[in-house]
Amino acid sequence: MSVWALGINHHTAPLDLRGRFAFALDQIQPTLNGYRQSLARQPEATLLSTCNRTELYGAGDQAAVEPTLEWLAHTGGVSTHVLRDHAYVLREDQAARHAFRVASGLDSMVLGEAQILGQMKDAVRAADEAGALGTTLHQLFQRSFAVAKQVRTSTEIGAHSISMTAAAVRLASQLFEDLKDIKVLFVGAGEMIELAATHFAAKTPKAMAIANRSLERGEKLAGRFGAEVMRLADIPDRLHEFDAVVSCTASTLPIIGLGAVERALKKRKHRPMFMVDLAVPRDIEIEVKGLSDVYLYTVDDLATVVQTGKDNRQAAVAQAEAIIDAGVLSFMHWMEQRDPANGMVPLIQQIHAQADAWRSAEMARAKKLLARGEPVDAVLEAMSRGLTQKMLHGTLAELRAGDADTRAATAQTVSRLFLRDDPVKPPRNS
């Protein structure tokens, strides 16, 4: 069993290429099913897709990596050669370290941001519901969540973190003299738009409106901010009314085209417009950026802004990396224990089988004594003594056998196994 990660992110691929490999949450299950069915031997698999990255995590045969690259390239409509130039493949401990760093916000465009952890949990849940999450990836991600929690509680990695939406407000403040005098249009009603609306609402703009495909969802969000609700189809006719536009939908095609923006600018007598496109793929046509009276920013354009204060968090990053290193070592140790090649799994199975046999024998003996009317306390005492004798017989025999050196070595091993200081945890169903 091997673990690996294959993907592209904001470090390795431009926005438009990432847009080809963007999957909405409701697409993950069918996409994973299609991927696994394309392979002769189906690996465990999880698909993580955000505006900054698309990554496939797998557990199984290493030979599945190359077919996975070919399948992903075909899915995104690009050649394998193009994808390979921008993709990374990480194996074993490097794959685990990457998963832990992603969950902890160390690999994000916004250092220390917390949103990625929720997105990763959603991806894992979708993989589980698709039947693609096996024991190995379950362990990998549960450990990544635990590491991420430890990083957040033990370090200041998230302190002073500037989110994408906060950065958008900062840029708007540089363009407009007073945000209280502007009208803001939000396109979409998802988590990113909710965050953006929260940040802009704090500046009390003159008016806010939310355009969404589902009016019901749009109305629910608008109600929180006292905003107007409109349909996506109304955007071209009303775009000129707004000084700032923030868009983030799951649409596979642009929502706002060049022509609509040109007409809006004409009606505005070329007063400037501030536009932020947080979607991947793009919600606003790229040609809009060439218009002289439009200030359009994408998620990649915001990278410089969100890095502000990064130097102040380097000490926290070092602490976080140490926590991650420990987590990686623990996971790899777990992997080694499961490897049949090292003989541990068969031995552990034999030990469990022997213990179950002893338990069954003592249980049968206890039931006979109870059936004969023996007192319960006496039966329990006899059963516990019988189990103890069975479990210690081999150990005590080895301590008495062999020469002095052999007995001394055996004594050290027995002390380590039976005289540990850490308490025994009760079983989960106790």
Active site residues: 51
Categorise residue 112: left if φ over 0, alpha if ψ from -120 to 50, beta otherwise.
left
Contacts of 187 (CB under 8 A, 6+ apart): 193, 210, 211, 212, 232, 235, 245, 246, 247, 248, 249, 255, 256, 283
DSSP H or E stretch at residue 53: strand 53-60
Q: Which residues is 296 bridged to in the sheet?
A: 275
378, two tokens: 């006496």
CA distance 296 to 289: 6
Distance CA 98, CA 85 (A): 19
List the one residue out of 103, 102, 114 whose CA is nearest residue 158: 114
Distances in Å between the Cα of 353 and the Cα atoms of 319, 336, 348, 429 are 43, 21, 9, 20
C-alpha of 113 from chain center: 12
Whether 110 contacts 306, CB under 8 Å? yes
Q: Cα separations (Å) of 272 from 240, 252, 295?
A: 10, 27, 8
Instruction: Give dist(CA 118, CA 285) in Å, integer.
Output: 29
Residue with tokens 């392979």: 39
For residues 240 and 146, give the distance between their C-alpha atoms in angstroms, rounded to a whole number.
48
Helix (H, G, I), strand (E, B) or coil at 174: helix
